[in-house]
């Protein structure tokens, strides 16, 4: 009878250990998924920032070009009026 109780205790310990192993495995899997998701978000943020910087640089270059053209037109008008 006592051997049977010991066997049941050992079986209960085995079940607990198996459940603990499964839990740890699932936690590790979830941790990895979270890390991958965080990496994906960081990459997306970086890509968005880079795209915004390119857009800003393009707008600045366009404004500078427009200003140069406007200055050339003003100079041409100024010199054409002097001739």
Token pair listed for 72: 């050339």
pLDDT band at residue 82 under the 50/70/90 scheme = low
- Give the residue, 76 or 25, on which the prediction is more confident: 25
Position 83 pLDDT exceeds 80 = no
Per-residue pLDDT of 30-68, as tens digits, reads: 999 999 999 999 999 999 999 999 999 999 999 999 999
Q: What domain range is 79 assigned to?
A: 1-83
Q: How many domains does the structure of the chain reveal?
A: 1
Residue 79 pLDDT exceeds 90: no
Cα 77 to chain centroid, rounded: 52
Task: Count helices and strands (H / E) in the chain.
Answer: 1, 0
């Amino acid at each position: 009878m006592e051997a049977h109780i010991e066997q049941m205790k050992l079986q209960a310990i085995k079940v607990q250990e198996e459940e603990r192993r499964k839990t740890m495995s699932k936690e590790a899997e979830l941790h990895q998924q979270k890390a991958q998701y965080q990496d994906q978000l960081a990459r997306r943020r970086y890509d968005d920032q880079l795209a915004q910087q390119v857009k800003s640089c393009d707008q600045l270059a366009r404004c500078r070009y427009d200003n140069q053209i406007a200055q050339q037109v003003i100079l041409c008008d100024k010199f054409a009026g002097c001739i």
